[in-house]
Amino acid sequence: MALRTRLNEMIDVQHPIISAPMAFAAGGLLAATVTSAGGLGLIGGGYGDAEWLEREFAKAGNARVGCGFITWSLAKRPHLLDLVLARAPAAVMLSFGSPMPFARPIKDSGAKLICQVQCMGHVREAVAAGADIVVAQGAEAGGHGLSRATLTLVPEVADYLAKAAPTTLLVAAGGIADGRGLAAALMLGAEGALIGSRFWASSEALVNPAFQKRASAADGDSTIRTTVVDVTRKIVWPKSFTARVLRNRFVEDWHGRETELAKPEVVDREMQRYVSAMQSGDPDNTGVWVGEATGLIKDVRAAGDLLKEIVRDAERLLRDKAPSLLRSA
């Protein structure tokens, strides 16, 4: 027996898994590999770079993939949405900003509109925008987010959608890296999972192997939510959002000292340190963007193999373990 949910039908996939459109990490090869393995792969449009998007869509070839954007940044470069829609993506995911300005063009193109949300206010806005899929992202996730946990946010969103928008599908994100996480997400009311960190640690991801090696040796306690990485890169995020990254020398040097870091003479020097370490593969002096699921990551493997293992383990848990927990009174 295979896992089949409404998500399989809506986005025409074999398995109810979507790979997260991680900025700078989720390129065309990763997205195409996830799609080939039976999920839906999303290219990470991030802050928006036309040349990068062109190159990564080319790497995806004829694979049926989608794309994700940081919405507040897309608002500064709206032409990039046209560039992506011209490639007939299966879906476009909007995160960290109002989807309203972009919802209609996405839906009119035939692509599914995916809205990632981190609180109930975001959910209501996504429904008003006509989202086909809502991704409820818990704070366990790597990269940017708010403070709600996956375990409580997902069922609360499920209850809301059941009443307010029953045709809108729910996908869970944040801390999901294996079959246990996928099975749990389905029990919480989601129709599938959006997975980031586990695919970040795959051979197809655009991630320096030194960063993946460091993450594979870490536990979940080794991550932190901080603004240091944004201050250093001079990227002004909406104040409510922080980023989850690995604790390392760079983060420990500056977490709690952001005001000092932001001084022009300091931030210019530290930005050079950050970028140099990112380019050279030095995991101590830059941002290593991974979530609490790093504690569940022990190796780096092909994304297709990872997806199939996650699905296989979830099916086994739901088929065998769940019934075994029920006993006659």
What structural domains does the chain harbor?
Answer: 6-207+299-324 (3.20.20.70), 209-280 (no CATH)
Matching residue, tokens 């032409």: 79
pLDDT higher than 90, residue 328: no
Question: What is d(CA 275, CA 255) in angstroms, rounded to the nearest whole number?
Answer: 18
**pLDDT value of position 300:** 98
pLDDT single digits (tens) 114-128: 999 999 999 999 999
* SS3 category, 137: strand
CA 296 distance to own-chain centroid: 16
pLDDT digits (tens, 9 = 90+) for 7-50: 999 999 999 999 999 999 999 999 999 999 999 999 999 998 99
Model pLDDT, residue 161 = 98
**pTM of the full predicted structure?**
0.95
Tell me the per-residue pLDDT of 56-100, one tens digit each, with 9 for 90 and over.
Answer: 999 999 999 999 999 999 999 999 999 999 999 999 999 999 999
Which percentage of the chain shows pLDDT scores above 70? 100
Q: Could you give the CA distance from residue 47 to residue 233 in angstroms, rounded to a whole number?
A: 12
Q: At CA 64, angle to CA 38 and CA 178, rounded to 5?
A: 35
Compute the distance between CA of residue 25 and CA of residue 190 in angstroms, rounded to an integer. 25
Residue 214's region, left for phi above 0, alpha for psi from -120 to 50, else beta, is: alpha
Paired sense of beta strands 242-246 and 223-226, if any: antiparallel
4 pLDDT above the threshold of 90: yes
Report pLDDT digits (tens) over 192-210: 999 999 999 999 999 999 9
Specify the pLDDT at position 324: 87
- Residues 75 and 94 sit within 8 Å (Cβ to Cβ): no
